[in-house]
Structure formats: C-alpha cells, structure tokens
Chains A and B, each alone.
Chain A
C-alpha cells in the first residue's frame, strides 16, 4: 500500500481526534457534557487495551496459547473489587484533590516529598518502555502495511514524526488547565471513541479470518488441531505454568489499578462515583469481546504463514493483506493506531503531571533561592514544565524503542512495566486500609522493590541489547552466583516474570509491614492515615478533619491562591468558601484552620500535595501538634459527626411528631366545631317553639278578656308547640345515642311486611285527614331479616310522614313498595310533591343540613328525622338515598341485607 497514503490517513485520523476532542470540550463548556455518563467512563477505562492487546495478544497466543488470557483474567477478577478499593481511592482523591498516584502515596504518608519523587521516577522508568512499544507497534504495522518490512529508515524516521504528533496532541488537550483536578473531557471523549474503534475493527478482522478465510470456528479449530504444538497451546499450566498463571493474574490485577493511565481515567477523570457500578461489568465485557477472536486469528496466522515467516504480533494485519483486503487492512491498522495513541496520550498526561507536581514543583518551592526568583511565574512554569515533560517522555520512549524495545516482543516489554507499577501496591492498598502504615515503611518497600525490579527485569534486557556483558546473567555480577538476575538468592524454576514478582513483592510487602511496625508516624502522617482509611466518615467535613494549629492571615492565604489560580479563580474559590462557612471574618483578618486546609487543598490540585504543604507553611506560622492531639481532635470531630447525625435524626422525628400532633389537633378542632355548630343549631331550633309558647302565654296572661275562640286557638298552639319541643328533644337524644355508639339495636327476626303495615296504620288517620291517596305494594313472602323492629318502624314512619308533608297539597299520592332484589330487601316511598333540588339530595341526610352561617331557611322539619333514619339503616348495614327531579316528586329508598354479616350492635 502506498506509504504516503497510510501516513496521510494516520494524520487525518489524528486530526479527527483533535476535532472530536474540541467538539466535546465545547459541548462541556455549554453544559452538555458527554463524559458524565457511565458508558463513556467504562469505554475510557478500556485504554487498558493498548497495541499490546491489539497486536501482542495474538502474538502471545501463537507462541504461548491460552497464557495470553491471564492479562485479562486479572482485571476481570479485580473489577468487582473496585467497589471496595477503587471507590475509596476515587473518594480520597476527590476530597483531597489528588491528581496522580505519586501524589496519592506522598499525601498518605504525610505529604512527603521524597516518597512522591521516588514514585514518580519509578513510574517514568517503568512506563517509558510501555510507551515505546506503542511506538514500535505503530512503526511495525506501518511497515507491514506499506510493504517495507526490513527496510531501515534514516533518522528522523516515520515513527519519530508520529511520536511528535502524539506529543503535540497531548499537549493541546492535556495541559489546557493549570489545575490538574479539572477533567480533560475532550481527551476522555477521544479515548472512548478510540476504544470503540479498536474493538469494532479487531472483531471485524476476527470475523473475517474465521468466516471469510476459514469456514467458521469449527473448520478453523479442526485445521489448527493439526498444528504440532496445538495441544500444548490449549493446555493450562505445564511445568512451571501454574506459578506463572498465578503471578500473571496478580500482576494484571495490580496493573489495572495502578498503571498511571488507569489511575488517570478511572480516578482523576471520574465524574461520578456511581459510574463505577456500570463500569464494573461493562469493562470485563469489553475485555471479553476483544479477546474472543484472539485464538482464531493466532491459529489462522499459524496455518496461513507457517511458523516464523511473519511476526505473530502482526498476524491481525498480515492476514487481510494476504487475502487482498486492503480496506480492511487499513482499518485494522487504524484500530491498532488508535489503541497505541490512546495509551500514549493518557500515559504522558499522567506522567507529565506527576513529574511537574512531584519533581519540579517541590524543587522550586523548597529551594529558597529558586522560590524567590520564580515566585511570580510559578503558574507559567508549571504549565510549560508539563508540556516539556510530555515531549520529554515521548522522546525518551522513542529512544527506548530505537535502543531496546525493537529487540523484544510487545508482551515482554509490557510485563516489565506492569511489574514496575506493582511496586506501589503495598503502599497504596496498605495505605487505605491500614492506619499503622508509615512513611518509612512505604519508602523502604518501594525503594527495595523498585531496585530489585530494575535488577531482575531491566538489567537483563540491557544485557539483551549488549549494553551490559552477558556474564551478569550466566555467572552473576563479579562472578557472585547468588546475585544472578534470573536466579536471585538461588531461586530457580520460575520464569523470569514470576521470579521477579516473587522477590519484589515479597521484600516490598515485608519491608512495608516490618518497617511500619518498627517506626513512628509524625502527627501529619497520622492525620492523613486517619483521613485516608476512614475517608467515608470524613469526606463530608474534610476542612475540619485535617488538624492544624497556628497563626495565619487571610491576605497571605489570598495572595498565595492568586499566585497559583489567578485573581479570578482565587476570588471565586474564596467566595465559595465563605458561602459554605459563613462565619464572620475576625477583626485581625486571621484565617482559621478550616480556611488554611481549604487553601492547601486547592493548591494541591494545582501543584501536588507536598508542594502545596510547603507553600502554605511558608506563609503561615504553624505550631507543633502531638499525635495524641491529632487523634483527640479527630475523635472529637468524628463524635461531632455522629452527634450531628443523631441530632438530624431526632429533629426529623420531632418534625414528624409535630406534624402528627398538628393534624390530630386539626381533627379535634374540626370535631369541636361540628359539635359547636350542632349545639347552636339545636338551641336555635328550640327557640322557635319556645318563642311561640312564651308570646302566646304572655298574651293570654295580659288579656284575660279576650275572645273564647282566640283563647282556645292560642292554647291549642301552645300545646302543639310543646309537642314540637318534646319531639325535638327526643330526636336530639336519639341521634346523640347513635353517634356515641350507646344506641343498642335489639336484633330479632323481622318481617318487613309487618313493619310497613304497622307504620301505615299509625299514620292512617293523618292520611285520611289530608285526603291523600296511599298505595301499599309489598311483595309476598319477603324473606325475614335480622333487625330492630321498633327502629325500622321509626324509619318508615319518618319517611311516610315526610311524604305526607311534602306531597302535592291538592291531590296527594304516596306509594309505598317493597321487594327482594340481589340479596337485599328494598323499600321505596314515593310522593308526588315538589321534589328536591339535586344539590340537596345528599345533604338532607345530614343533621341540620343548613349550616349555621346560612340565613336562608330550609323548607320544613326539624332537620333531624332523616339523619336518624340514615343512622338506623346504616346500623343495619343498609343504605338509604333519595332520587328526585324537582317538580316531579321524590323517591326515598333504602335497602337492608337479608343476611346481616355480623350483629350490628354499634354504629
């Protein structure tokens, strides 16, 4: 394929990434962030799959069979543990504004500069080979694609320009903000996109090999079974195999947590802790998907090319080329290119921040001469040093690639990097779960572990490229046999990675624990240990959980912040602080411990925690604090938190109780009002007959000479009004008995027919007097019901009297009917009176349905009769209602169940 075409496509692809990243940044600036979703987060974590995965897995599978899987089994096993480990690290970093792993370790062990610098150095040393194999992968894929295998390019070769291109991209999107805690949304979006691309293309290539070149999995495996080493490849373990599996799995478990690029995407770029939930299964799924076709491609390559003719690392590219699928080959190349670039970009950003914040800044701020000289330009220096570091890292990787990596496989170099970062595991994992871990312990473990790493893994690789004499490997340095790098202290029988891992991890962990137990923590260390291990307790009150004593002035703190954040951002940060802690500023302008901690935290995000510590302590006067004091204050603040929680809970309970009381009170008040209303209505109703009786009696008394006829008329009215009074009083008492539940029904089998008959007889005379036509129509053999006969008669009399009162005065007609329907006995009383307006049809069953504040009087009646009827019917588990059209009479009905479910003694 044409060389310039491929180069053009590569740079076009980089331009596309540029475009994508800046589009994402613009979206984020306008508040429509792309990265605040768990899928982008999980995809960005797939930066784990580099060119090593893309090309190297196939290479490893071709020579080592299933072994390649160990590197993916480790992370898959680790993913469920993220909830315990990674979430804690994320929280700590968010709260303490930690932006790199070096800063994390330095922070945990008292913001120690030495520790941070050593971690940085080991990271740079460990990761540069890893970056270099990405450059190597790009270069080899390019040469395969363009058919220039074996040609030697003069410097500057193509990979040099690609390295510079990547460095520039990283500089543009990685160092836009000074504050490293600010997320690089453009970069993350680009990385997520690259993860999709490399997966899709790799799977496409796998499908092509399996179904295009061969006839599916079955065919491919059947042919592969003829390969001489097939059985060996498909077998786990082997001679030293199980140990190797164990160490590889452990190594990759640690790598997924500790590689600087993983720390960057998983911790620093994390938007929301909850995204971990999704990533915990999405990420292993991604690993699975990208590994499905590794074996088919590896076997396919073996079958097509024969052993040794083509570098197995490049099978995935070489097969489409062999089959003449140039478009697919170009895409495969781009997939590999994307896998490599994503790793390079993220790793260099992480390393550059580490170098600037843990090497350069501490040097600048702790050497007085340098500090005074550059004090005003620290921010500028910071940004430029980061850019320079990115360039430097990429160039070193390029040199390493040219000098060393060219002679090793992708996997061999990659594992060396894994082993380097594994050296931080004891200090980090111990640091977040074990309060007793000390700075000295961490230092001893990391230093010895790293030195051994260098000796057992890097030194042999230097021998391999003739930088050191081969005798070191065979006879040991200076002929000392037990110092042979591959058989240290006489340990034999392990492959070199397992051997190195055994010794480094054994001594590293042992020293970390041993020295920690023997050494004492400073108060600062102790404070950080408490906060790290118990981060979920402290994260809400961080400003007060860092114990600090001394004298500080707000203007000093302010100018320090302005120096690093700029005027605008410093002001905004201080305003935010005062919003959170709106305590009045004291007169001398003294800053309290909270403000000092807040400022230190802000600075940590920019220049790293140890430099921030130095800067802050340079502008304030600090007092020594003993460990006991630290512990006491922390204990108090913890107690404060739990007391606060307790108080909040109590006040919630109180509020709830108050709410209940209020509603109960409201209900009582309402009942009270109802009672008041009832009383005042009753007295009002009593007044009418009383008024009449009094007036008439007084007239009779004052006028003894009045007509006999008038006298009789008056006396008759007095008697009638007295009866009205009596009736009213007994109804009120009736109703009260029903409402208070004192009214007992004397239940017995009752014939409805009898009830109706007796009621009609009682009213017969009145009906005749008024000339009303009364029709009674009762169904024969009505079933008996259980009821209180006298009460039911009371209801019937009331309904029929109402009908008499309201029926057409000229030609009154009343129909009383009763029949059995649906398990009930139904009774209707129909009149031909003026009817009832719809709005009153419900109200008339309420006692005194007209409210007290009304001044329009209801037609007639005491206002209690129907209310009592309703009570009686309901206490028989029945129902009463009225149907009426104004002007066309009214039909009062009630139903009583034939089988009363339970004796209705009470209402």
Chain B
C-alpha cells in the first residue's frame, strides 16, 4: 500500500447516492484517495481544495451541471494534466460530442462496466 501522499487523488461526482456508493467503494478498492461530491457546487469546491488528478463526473445534477464543472476544471491552472471522465445516463451523440468539446478525456455512458472504468482510469493516469 502506498502512502496517502503517493496515492492518486480521484474525485467522484454524482447526485444519486445509489451510484455514488459503488463508485466510492471501487476507487478505494483500487487504492486511490477518494473524494466525493453530490452536486456541481460541491464538485467545484472539492476540485479547488484537493486538486484531484482524476475526476469521474456525472452530467445531470441539481445545481451546476457536469459540463460546467468540466469547463471550470479546464480553466483551473492547478488542474493542469488532470483527467476528466464523464459518466452519464445521457447517451445521445450530441451529448457525448459536447462532453469532449468541454474538455473530457473520456465519456462513458451509464450503465457502465466497473472493470472498464477502473481500466480506463489506470490508463489515463499512467499517460
């Protein structure tokens, strides 16, 4: 086990507790340092405070949507090099395209495969 300082910081954002719960478990199981946020505002606060290397981001949220959170991440100097993965129930082509436009590294539609998500986080954080 690596020390906290060497652990990859992952921020998981989703407004559904029933989705947040498995995500949090997965990240911890994979040995990352996990932060969670239940809406856009919390997500932005967490980003500014923790400067995570990876953000797993839902789009439809009560206050600030995922696209906006992603834009803020991209305009944050301290977040340079951070990876953003959208995890959304919105699966239309236009939604996916918009996700990449605002700066996502990956867009995974819900429901997702947990193994695939972990694999991708590993790949992205290694590059």
Known: A696-B18, A717-B21. 10 other contacts (CB 8 A): A688-B110, A690-B111, A693-B111, A695-B111, A717-B18, A720-B18, A856-B65, A857-B15, A857-B60, A858-B62
B115 at the A interface (CB under 8 A): yes
Known: A684-B89, A717-B21. Contact between A698 and B67, CB under 8 A?
no
Complex-state Cα separation, A713 to B24, whole angstroms: 14
On whether the beta carbons of A689 and B18 are closer than 8 Å, the reply is: yes
A859 at the B interface (CB under 8 A): yes
On whether the beta carbons of B22 and A856 are closer than 8 Å, the reply is: no
| Interface bits A441-455 vs B (CB < 8 Å: 1, else 0) | 000000000000000
On whether the beta carbons of B25 and A699 are closer than 8 Å, the reply is: yes
A680 at the B interface (CB under 8 A): yes
Identify which of A696, A699, A720, A855 contacts B65 (C-beta below 8 A).
A855
Contact residues in A for B16 (Cβ distance below 8 Å): 688, 691-692
Chain A's closest residue to B58 (CB) is: A857
Chain B's closest residue to A701 (CB) is: B114
Contact residues in A for B63 (Cβ distance below 8 Å): 856
Interface residues of A in 711-740 (CB under 8 A from B): 713-714, 717, 720-721
Query: In the complex, what's the smallest C-beta–C-beta distance from B93 to chain A, in angstroms?
Result: 12
Known: A680-B92, A692-B16. Contact between A699 and B26, CB under 8 A?
yes
Contact residues in A for B29 (Cβ distance below 8 Å): 699, 703
Complex-state Cα separation, A856 to B21, whole angstroms: 22
| Interface bits A665-708 vs B (CB < 8 Å: 1, else 0) | 00000000000000010001001111111111011001100000
On whether the beta carbons of B111 and A855 are closer than 8 Å, the reply is: no
- What are 19 sample pairs from A and B whose C-beta atoms fall under 8 A apart? A684-B90, A688-B89, A691-B110, A691-B112, A692-B19, A694-B111, A695-B112, A695-B114, A699-B26, A699-B29, A702-B115, A713-B21, A714-B22, A720-B18, A855-B61, A856-B61, A856-B63, A857-B61, A857-B62
Identify which of A689, A702, A714, A720 contacts B114 (C-beta below 8 A).
A702
| Interface bits B44-58 vs A (CB < 8 Å: 1, else 0) | 000000000000000
B4 at the A interface (CB under 8 A): no
Contact residues in A for B61 (Cβ distance below 8 Å): 855-857
Identify which of B19, B65, B66 contacts A695 (C-beta below 8 A).
B19
A710 at the B interface (CB under 8 A): yes
On whether the beta carbons of B25 and A710 are closer than 8 Å, the reply is: yes
Contact residues in B for A695 (Cβ distance below 8 Å): 19, 22-23, 26, 111-112, 114
B residues touching A (Cβ–Cβ < 8 Å)? 15-16, 18-19, 21-23, 25-26, 29, 59-63, 65-67, 89-92, 110-115
Interface residues of A in 576-601 (CB under 8 A from B): none
Known: A856-B61, A856-B65. Contact between A699 and B18, CB under 8 A?
no
On whether the beta carbons of B62 and A856 are closer than 8 Å, the reply is: yes
| Interface bits A288-304 vs B (CB < 8 Å: 1, else 0) | 00000000000000000
On whether the beta carbons of A687 and B18 are closer than 8 Å, the reply is: no
Contact residues in A for B19 (Cβ distance below 8 Å): 688, 691-692, 695
Complex-state Cα separation, A10 to B29, whole angstroms: 124
Complex-state Cα separation, A859 to B62, whole angstroms: 6
Contact residues in A for B110 (Cβ distance below 8 Å): 687-688, 690-691
Query: In the complex, what's the smallest C-beta–C-beta distance from B108 to chain A, in angstroms?
Result: 10
Chain A's closest residue to B95 (CB) is: A855
Pick the most buried of A680, A696, A857, A858: most chain B CB atoms within 10 A of its CB.
Answer: A857
Complex-state Cα separation, A689 to B16, whole angstroms: 9
Contact residues in A for B59 (Cβ distance below 8 Å): 855
Interface residues of A in 839-862 (CB under 8 A from B): 855-859
On whether the beta carbons of A692 and B18 are closer than 8 Å, the reply is: yes
Contact residues in A for B114 (Cβ distance below 8 Å): 695, 698-699, 702
Contact residues in B for A856 (Cβ distance below 8 Å): 60-63, 65
Query: In the complex, what's the smallest C-beta–C-beta distance from A306 to chain B, in angstroms?
Result: 112
Complex-state Cα separation, A839 to B44, whole angstroms: 27
Query: In the complex, what's the smallest C-beta–C-beta distance from A353 to chain B, in angstroms?
Result: 80
Contact residues in B for A684 (Cβ distance below 8 Å): 89-90
On whether the beta carbons of B18 and A855 are closer than 8 Å, the reply is: no
On whether the beta carbons of A698 and B115 are closer than 8 Å, the reply is: yes
Identify which of A691, A713, A714, A858 contacts B111 (C-beta below 8 A).
A691
Query: In the complex, what's the smallest C-beta–C-beta distance from B124 to chain A, in angstroms?
Result: 19
Contact residues in B for A855 (Cβ distance below 8 Å): 59-61, 65-67, 90
Complex-state Cα separation, A684 to B63, whole angstroms: 19
On whether the beta carbons of B65 and A692 are closer than 8 Å, the reply is: no
Complex-state Cα separation, A659 to B103, whole angstroms: 46
Contact residues in A for B15 (Cβ distance below 8 Å): 857
Chain A's closest residue to B64 (CB) is: A856
Chain B's closest residue to A693 (CB) is: B111
Contact residues in B for A690 (Cβ distance below 8 Å): 110-111
Identify which of B21, B66, B111 contacts A687 (C-beta below 8 A).
B111
Contact residues in A for B21 (Cβ distance below 8 Å): 692, 696, 713-714, 717
Chain A's closest residue to B25 (CB) is: A699
Contact residues in B for A859 (Cβ distance below 8 Å): 62
Contact residues in A for B90 (Cβ distance below 8 Å): 684, 855
Pick the most buried of B15, B19, B66: most chain A CB atoms within 10 A of its CB.
Answer: B19
Contact residues in B for A688 (Cβ distance below 8 Å): 16, 18-19, 89, 110
Contact residues in B for A680 (Cβ distance below 8 Å): 92
Pick the most buried of B26, B65, B111: most chain A CB atoms within 10 A of its CB.
Answer: B111
Query: In the complex, what's the smallest C-beta–C-beta distance from A735 to chain B, in angstroms?
Result: 20
Contact residues in A for B18 (Cβ distance below 8 Å): 688-689, 692, 696, 717, 720-721
Complex-state Cα separation, A720 to B15, whole angstroms: 17
Query: In the complex, what's the smallest C-beta–C-beta distance from A54 to chain B, in angstroms?
Result: 91
Interface residues of A in 277-313 (CB under 8 A from B): none
On whether the beta carbons of A699 and B115 are closer than 8 Å, the reply is: no
Query: In the complex, what's the smallest C-beta–C-beta distance from B59 to chain A, in angstroms?
Result: 6
Complex-state Cα separation, A702 to B22, whole angstroms: 12
Complex-state Cα separation, A858 to B26, whole angstroms: 27
Query: In the complex, what's the smallest C-beta–C-beta distance from B72 to chain A, in angstroms?
Result: 15
Chain B's closest residue to A721 (CB) is: B18
Contact residues in B for A698 (Cβ distance below 8 Å): 113-115
Query: In the complex, what's the smallest C-beta–C-beta distance from B120 to chain A, in angstroms?
Result: 15
On whether the beta carbons of A692 and B22 are closer than 8 Å, the reply is: yes
Complex-state Cα separation, A393 to B94, whole angstroms: 93
Query: In the complex, what's the smallest C-beta–C-beta distance from B70 to chain A, in angstroms?
Result: 12
Complex-state Cα separation, A688 to B23, whole angstroms: 13
Query: In the complex, what's the smallest C-beta–C-beta distance from B31 to chain A, in angstroms?
Result: 14
Complex-state Cα separation, A713 to B21, whole angstroms: 10
Contact residues in B for A703 (Cβ distance below 8 Å): 29
8 tightest A-B CB contacts, nearest first: A855-B65, A695-B22, A692-B18, A691-B111, A687-B89, A691-B110, A694-B111, A698-B114
Query: In the complex, what's the smallest C-beta–C-beta distance from A534 to chain B, in angstroms?
Result: 67
Complex-state Cα separation, A240 to B91, whole angstroms: 109
Contact residues in A for B89 (Cβ distance below 8 Å): 684, 687-688, 691
Query: In the complex, what's the smallest C-beta–C-beta distance from A856 to chain B, in angstroms?
Result: 6
On whether the beta carbons of B62 and A696 are closer than 8 Å, the reply is: no
Contact residues in B for A713 (Cβ distance below 8 Å): 21
Interface residues of A in 458-498 (CB under 8 A from B): none
Contact residues in B for A692 (Cβ distance below 8 Å): 16, 18-19, 21-22
